[in-house]
Amino acid sequence: MMQTDMPGAVPHDFVFDSEHPILPIPFTAHIGDEKLDGSGLSIAAAYVSAPGDLDPSFEGTRHIVKLQFDFEGFSITLFPEMRVARGTKDGEVALQFMDPTGGHLPQLRYIINSFIAGDFVTMGSMLAYSGPTEPKKDKVAEKEDRNRRLIRSVAVAVISGVLILLALNLMRVRLTESYEARPVFIVRSGSEMRATSPGQVAFLNPQASQGEVVYSIAANSGDMLNFKLPCDCEVTVSDGIFEGATVLPIDSILTFFGSSVDVKVQTQMSIEGLSKAMNGDHVTLEMRDGRSIPVTVSVTSATNTAAQRGDLFLPVTLVAEPGTLSIEDIGKPARVRLSKPLFGGKADVVTEQS
């Protein structure tokens, strides 16, 4: 029976000899009180610079080595069991991992893989992170994010445009529109009888018939002025008129109404508002029910008299297009709006013929 040769023993450093690439990753190794600067690192061993020749008695010893990787603001520290061996060149010591697959492997592999990928760069004796700050997103998620950003940008642009238009419209309204302070009275259309001379109302008979004296005025000149009612019609006495009341020329004494029922709009406009209307501003009657009715300002003799007296508000009549106001509008409140046309306009003012 022939005896076969037994296989030779495997060298203890067989697994470390050119088995894994050595990367120039900076680190420090602490063995007891000794601190050594690292010159290379692999999965199987760490290489440090030795201050001198390796003591033969030190070679082959085992130690718990502190491997420290310094970053900006923090460090990673590993404590593997390592065996001291000679390095690949003079002045170098190899620290071989006794258990290359031990608990230090995940952290060590992360550092080595990140260095290979370029996420870690060396800065002297330190490491710096240059990789992405967040996990890469897949194409579908990236497309959804891009669509969301696009929608958000469009929404912001639309909202900004609406706000700009609202601000511009508000500025336009402030610059071109104004409202008169005095209210508007929509009343039944009739014919007014006015005082022709300053004096005192001496007689007042609203129930007078056609041809009878309806009121008398004791003029300051000493004359007694009698006024007859021209028709058998309804009579309404003006506010503030009674027997004994003092009147001035053009003051309204009463109004008589014929058989027809028409609508008349009366108000008092400020001197500034009337001037704007005469200079081309559009005059609009703003009804409480939301209607906007263009009107023309009718200046009467009472307007001229009030202006000559220096009154700040002048009585005027507002004339609307036929059919825009009806008897249902009598007594409804309204306001006068003045709007300045952007390209000029025609004056909405007429003079009532007396």
Three-state DSSP state, 335: strand
Would you say residue 225 has pLDDT above 90? yes
What gap in Å lies between CA 223 and CA 252, rounded to an integer?
Answer: 20
For residues 83-107, one letter each, b for 16 or more C-beta atoms within 10 angstroms of the residue's C-beta and e for the rest, the string is bbbbbeeeeebbbbbeebeeebeee
CA dist 108 and 78 (Å) reads 8
**What are the structure tokens assigned to 203, written together?**
């007689």
CA dihedral 51, 57, 58, 63 (to 10 degrees): -160
Alpha-carbon gap, residue 332 to 183, rounded angstroms: 11
271-303 per-position pLDDT tens digit: 888 888 888 888 999 988 889 989 988 888 888
Q: What is the pLDDT of residues 95-125, one digit of tens each?
A: 899 988 888 888 888 888 888 887 766 655 5
DSSP state of 136: P
Segment 130-137 shows an average pLDDT of: 57
Q: Are 268 and 248 in contact (CB under 8 A)?
A: no
* 256 contacts 231 by C-beta, under 8 angstroms: yes
Quick: pLDDT tens for 168-210: 888 776 777 888 888 888 887 778 898 999 999 999 999 999 9
* Rounded Cα distance, 20 and 106, in Å: 16
Q: Are 187 and 315 in contact (CB under 8 A)?
A: no
Predicted local confidence at residue 3, as pLDDT: 47
Alpha helices of the chain — where are they, by DSSP H? 105-117, 139-176, 271-278, 301-309
DSSP bridge partners of 30: 35, 66
Q: How confident is the model at residue 214 (pLDDT cuts 50, 70, 90)?
A: very high
- In this prediction the pTM is 0.42
Assess whether pLDDT exceeds 70 at residue 349.
Answer: no
One-letter amino acid of 309: R
How far does CA 208 lie from the centroid of its chain?
Answer: 67
* 195-231 residues labelled b (16+ CB within 10 A) or e (exposed): beeebebeebeeebeeeeebbbbbbeeeeeeebebee
Domains of the chain: 28-129 (2.40.10.220), 174-189+263-354 (2.40.30), 190-260 (2.40.50.100)
pLDDT reported for residue 147:
87
pLDDT score, position 137:
58
Could you tell me if 203 and 213 are in contact, meaning their C-beta atoms sit under 8 angstroms apart? yes
For 327, which DSSP code? G
Average pLDDT of every residue of the chain:
82
So what's the pLDDT on residue 125?
Answer: 55
Q: Which residues of 144-170 are buried (b: 16+ CB within 10 A; e: fewer)?
A: eeeeeeeeeeeeeeeeeeeeeeeeeee
Calpha distance 111→78 (Å, rounded): 11
Longest Cα–Cα distance of the chain, Å, equals 173
